[in-house]
Amino acid sequence: MESVTPAGPSATLYQRIRRDIEANILSGLWPPGYRVPFEHELVEIYACSRMTVNKVMTDLATAGLIERKRRAGSVVARPRAQQALLSIPDLKAEVEGRGARYGYELLYRERRAARRADADRLGVQPRSPILALRCRHRTDGRPFALEDRLLNLSEIPEAEREDFSVVPPNTWLVGYVPWTGAEHSISACHADAEAAALLEIEPGHACLSLERRTWRGNGSVTAVTMLHPGHLYRLFARFTP
Amino acid sequence: MESVTPAGPSATLYQRIRRDIEANILSGLWPPGYRVPFEHELVEIYACSRMTVNKVMTDLATAGLIERKRRAGSVVARPRAQQALLSIPDLKAEVEGRGARYGYELLYRERRAARRADADRLGVQPRSPILALRCRHRTDGRPFALEDRLLNLSEIPEAEREDFSVVPPNTWLVGYVPWTGAEHSISACHADAEAAALLEIEPGHACLSLERRTWRGNGSVTAVTMLHPGHLYRLFARFTP
DNA sequence: TCGATCGATATGTATAGATATATTCGGTGG
DNA sequence: CCACCGAATATATCTATACATATCGATCGA
């Protein structure tokens, strides 16, 4: 028996229709493939105009809950590929948000012409000007992130005037450079001798590696690899349709 | 100078208006806080009815690009916290999509009353009925994922009739159980002796651990821990506003 | 039997107007 | 000066209608 809530002044007609249909789908009463009532049937059920139920159905289709086809009607969609929203906050804000003390050091800074490896990582022409940085982030004194970053000076020449000895590159970038696209790759790896020394862990320790490339329009802005000791950092993602 | 594309038969009026406004916002021409033209102004600009521009504006607000207030008008919203869309596809589909051979084995299956540890992981009352599964996934014969899963039989009693010896739990769940929320936690860890044996790697090898809990409405549906050898698996996330 | 055509039907898109509601702004009286 | 009231205004929601478009299915002809 499908649920049709009685008319009430508490919600709009749109909300009531949408809530009813969503309830029927999410409860499993209408399984994937089930044919949702036609618009004209809903018009009769709710005694309203077609525009109102059309908006509900169009929005449900946008949300991915149903699929619509002309002439055939609408059916409950089978759940999509699982996706989750991954939050990638500013490390400083994240650490301080947990009440811990945040520490930052610039370990290395070099302006240079892009080598082949740099060019591949950043997606620029070899020999174009870049800024290479290596930084260490601490929480309550313990290293918890090693940052290897390349900045494309052709796209953001302002970066050359910033020395990054006090302001972390990510904080500076978020504040000054708008970006239009980013790509992340998350994997697990072993710390090599150099990284282990800098993170103050034993060589071979499991680490979470987060690589990110960021674009503005067609131009590559920055490429970064963040290495976190596995026991000190985890990423969270959440999804609610 | 704001962009107003000339009328063309290639797109609907709705799409044209939406594309224009999105272009003005994403290009930075209309910065956060900028007051978007009133609906009645857009009606004049595009010589159309208010319903059409209202639909555009309502959808833009739903998408988070603008914020609307009665009497005050609409303004460009300030960018959200950095977020990326993480794809967590069906392993079978992912492996076969790359042209590799997918393999699946059920290692363990037990229907039992939830122990304390199970209850904590799954978010149910102790002693409620659950199904515990352990599975192994292979790509071209090599193990690349160890799956430890709990299913809440109070929510999905149908799961008891499925033996999961051929169909992986995730594939079955995606097809038959709609879910309304999920939470993921990603970290790096060392493989213990048992996991290492099952994944055919040396103990202590770096692994990517993905924990997921899934709800339907208020009820917990399933909790799963996927363990991947670090060198065989990586997660990708992408973001474009 | 196969295939082209055509009508029925459900959704897609847009119009024009009406009422409702929240919020700002200006004035008014204590 | 401030509290309060009411007008103006922009969005929120809904109705009734119209025509466009895709597609299923039946009918008819080669």
Q: What percent of chain B is modeled with pLDDT above 70?
A: 94
DSSP B160: G
A89 pLDDT above the threshold of 70: yes
Q: The domain A13-76 is classified under which CATH number: 1.10.10.10, 3.30.70.360, 3.10.310.10, 1.10.12.10?
A: 1.10.10.10
Distances in Å between the Cα of B151 and the Cα atoms of A164, B125, B221 are: 49, 13, 6
CA distances from B120 to B117, B190, B211 (A): 5, 23, 13
- Chain B touched by A218 (CB under 8 Å): no
Q: Could you tell me the two tokens for A77?
A: 């969609």
- Could you tell me which chain B residue has the CA closest to the CA of A78? B175
Greater confidence (A169 vs B240) lies with A169
CA distance A200 to A221: 30
| pLDDT value at residue B182 | 87
Name the residue type at position B140.
D
B29-64 b/e (C-beta count within 10 Å ≥ 16 → b): ebeeeeebbebeebbeebebeeebbebbbebbeeee
A190·B206 Cβ contact <8 A: yes
When comparing pLDDT for B85 and B6, which is higher?
A: B85
What's the pLDDT at A223? 97
- Cα separation of B176 and B170, whole Å? 10
Convert the pLDDT of each residue in A186-229 to its tens digit: 999 999 999 999 999 999 999 999 999 998 878 899 999 999 99
CA of A75 to C1' of D27 (A): 29
Closest Cα of chain B to A80: distance in Å?
8
Is A12 within 7 A of strand D by CB distance?
yes
pLDDT tens digits, A152-179: 999 999 999 999 999 999 888 876 776 7
The per-residue pLDDT for B42 is: 93
Q: Is the CB atom of residue A14 positioned under 7 angstroms from any atom of strand D?
A: yes
- Provide, rounded to the nearest whole percent, the portion of chain B with pLDDT above 90: 67
Q: What are the respective helix, strand and coil percentages of chain B, to the nearest 5?
A: 30, 35, 35
Where residue B1 falls among pLDDT bands split at 50, 70, 90? Answer: low
Please indicate if any CB of chain A lies within 8 Å of the CB of B97: no
Look at A43 and B240; give whichever has higher pLDDT. Answer: A43
R_g of chain A computed on alpha carbons: 26
Q: What share of chain A is helix, strand, coil (3-state, %, to 5)?
A: 30, 35, 35
CATH of A85-238, one of 3.50.20.10, 3.30.565.10, 3.40.1410.10, 1.10.1070.20: 3.40.1410.10
Cross-chain CB nearest to B185 (options A26, A62, A234)? A234
**3-state DSSP assignment of residue A176:** helix
**Please, which residues have CB within 8 angstroms of residue B28's CB and are 6 or more apart in sequence?**
A178
How far CA A120 is from CA of A127, A129, B200, in Å, comes to 12, 14, 33
Instruction: Give B166-191 as a DSSP string.
Output: SS-HHHHHHHH---SEEEEEEEEEE-
Distance, in Å, from the CA atom of A142 to the CA atom of A93, rounded to the nearest integer, reads 16
Name the phi and psi angles at A44, rounded to 5.
Answer: -70, -45
Give residue-wise pLDDT tens across range A49-70.
999 999 999 999 998 899 999 9
Q: What is the pLDDT of residue A240?
A: 65
pLDDT value for A208: 97
Whether residue B81 is predicted with pLDDT greater than 70 in this model: the reply is: no
Query: Could you state, in order of their start, the residue ranges of all structural domains in chain B?
Result: 13-76, 85-238
Q: What is the structure's pLDDT at A5? A: 74
Place A8 in a pLDDT band, splitting at 50, 70 and 90.
low
The percent of residues in chain A predicted with pLDDT above 70, rounded, is: 94
If residue A134 lies in a helix (H) or strand (E), which one and from where to where? strand A129-139
H helices within A79-192, ranges in order?
91-97, 116-122, 169-176
Best of A87, A171, A186, A226 to substitute, by most chain B Cβ atoms within 10 angstroms, is A186
The pLDDT tens digits for B170-198 are 988 877 777 778 899 999 999 999 999 99
